[in-house]
């Protein structure tokens, strides 16, 4: 899976890259919104792992979510938001703007990997043709004894 990590903290980017590469993912990194959007235009990205607050009050993680939502649905990467902000407002805002999931910093590596797997499974599920699901002609009946 191709994953883009957008965070202005180089340590977070390094940790994420190291962890995700070990799991077999290809990882792209950006330290600003503009660099992240440039990578999104150039590469086929499946999941964007992004910090909400990137230092710019207008161009931040929420802005990236809004841009992701303009992609065609079958090519839209999943937005996985990272935040150290506590409370319901950052979560509500992230989900209202189209986040697929959210993880709080500092995060547990297993928790991050679980959310990445969830993104991967969702992406695969949504890209499968509908014809792969067998259709029942008639519902099976239970016999009463």
143 within some domain: no
Res 144: pLDDT: 45
pLDDT in tens, 117-129: 998 888 776 654 4
How many angstroms separate the CA atoms of 20 and 39, rounded?
18
pLDDT in tens, 14-58: 999 999 999 999 999 999 999 999 999 999 999 999 998 887 777
| 51 strand-pairing partners | 82
Res 53: pLDDT: 87
The per-residue pLDDT of the chain, averaged, comes to 84
135 within some domain: no
Helix axes 33-42, 61-68, angle to 10 degrees: 20
140 within some domain: no
Q: How many domains does the chain have?
A: 1
For residue 131, pLDDT beyond 50 = no
pLDDT in tens, 81-105: 999 888 888 888 899 999 999 999 9
Res 91: pLDDT: 86
144 within some domain: no
Q: Is residue 104 within 8 Å of 133, Cβ to Cβ?
A: no
For the chain, helix, strand, coil in percent to 5 are: 45, 15, 40
15 within some domain: yes
Here the CATH number for the domain that contains residue 118 is 3.40.50.2300
- List the domain range (segments joined by +) for residue 16: 2-130
For residue 137, pLDDT beyond 60 = no
Cis preceding linkage at 126, omega within 30: no
Q: Is residue 83 within 8 Å of 93, Cβ to Cβ?
A: no
**Does residue 12 sit in helix, strand or coil?**
helix
Both tokens of 70, joined, read 């303009």
139 within some domain: no
Give pTM, 2 decimals: 0.82
Helix axes 61-68, 88-96, angle to 10 degrees: 20
How many Cβ atoms sit within 10 Å of the Cβ of residue 43?
13
138 within some domain: no
For residue 2, pLDDT beyond 90 = yes
136 within some domain: no
pLDDT in tens, 58-67: 788 899 999 9
């Amino acid at each position: 899976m191709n994953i883009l990590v957008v965070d202005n903290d180089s340590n977070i980017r390094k940790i994420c890259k190291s962890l995700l590469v070990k799991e077999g993912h290809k990882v792209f990194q950006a330290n600003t919104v503009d660099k992240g959007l440039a990578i999104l235009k150039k590469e086929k990205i499946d999941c964007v792992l992004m910090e909400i607050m990137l230092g710019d009050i207008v161009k931040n993680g929420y802005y990236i979510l809004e841009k992701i939502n303009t992609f065609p649905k079958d090519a839209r990467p999943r937005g996985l938001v990272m935040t150290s902000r506590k409370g319901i407002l950052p979560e509500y805002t992230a989900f209202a703007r189209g986040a697929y999931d959210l993880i709080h910093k500092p995060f547990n590596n297993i928790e991050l990997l679980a959310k990445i797997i969830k993104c991967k499974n969702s992406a695969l599920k949504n890209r499968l043709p509908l014809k792969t699901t067998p259709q029942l002609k008639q519902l099976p009946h239970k016999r009463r004894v």
